[in-house]
Amino acid sequence: MFRKNIITTLFALFFFTTLSAQEAESEAMNEKIKGKIQICVSCHGEQGATIMPVYPILAGQNFYYAYVQLKDLKSGLRKNEIMAAMVQDLEKDEMKLLAGHFSEQAWPETKHKSDAGKTDIAKMAIDAGQCVQCHRGGFEGE
């Protein structure tokens, strides 16, 4: 009985110590990206919900998609001079934290107007491409 109590106590100590260490690490990482989030929202809008159509909406974006975009911008696979400079010094863990932060936000309502001609061209490109393999028709999937 005594041995069982010792084992239970040791397990509880280990579990809570590990949990506390993980929470401290998580808080440190959140502090690390807090300033970077402020840089993002200066163009992409508060909570990643831009009010200017020229900037992509970050809020509610799929985590993996957002992470890959940051990674591709940094490596040069995706070209954008402004964003390349913004992501240049980001570390992998920071990119994941940023992608996670914005993916947890709600997708915003927007008042952006679409150009009918561009909308028709986009619809043709979507139908001709392989978008629906992942996103399904009408972009109902991820």
Residue 92 sits in a domain whose CATH number is 1.10.760.10
Q: Average pLDDT of 93-115?
A: 90
Q: Domain containing 24: what range?
A: 2-111
In a shared domain, residues 26 and 61:
yes
C-alpha to C-alpha distance for 103 and 98, rounded to whole angstroms: 8
pLDDT of residue 85: 96
Q: Average pLDDT of 106-118?
A: 83
Report residue 108 CA to chain centroid gap: 15
In a shared domain, residues 56 and 97:
yes
80 and 73 in contact (C-beta within 8 Å)? yes
Q: Say yes or no to pLDDT of 129 above 80.
A: no
Alpha helices by DSSP H, the chain: 2-44, 63-75, 81-87, 92-103, 116-128, 131-135
Q: Say yes or no to pLDDT of 10 above 60.
A: no
The count of residues in the chain is 142
In a shared domain, residues 138 and 73:
no
In a shared domain, residues 87 and 48:
yes
Structural domains counted in the chain? 2
Q: Average pLDDT of 44-63?
A: 89
Q: Specify the amino acid at residue 92.
A: K
In which band, very low, low, confident or very high, does the pLDDT at 140 lie, cut at 50, 70 and 90?
Answer: low
C-alpha to C-alpha distance for 83 and 40, rounded to whole angstroms: 10
In a shared domain, residues 90 and 117:
no
In a shared domain, residues 39 and 98:
yes
Q: Average pLDDT of 34-43?
A: 94
In which band, very low, low, confident or very high, does the pLDDT at 64 lie, cut at 50, 70 and 90?
Answer: very high
23: left (phi over 0), alpha (psi -120 to 50) or beta: alpha
In a shared domain, residues 33 and 93:
yes
In a shared domain, residues 65 and 37:
yes
C-alpha to C-alpha distance for 92 and 71, rounded to whole angstroms: 8
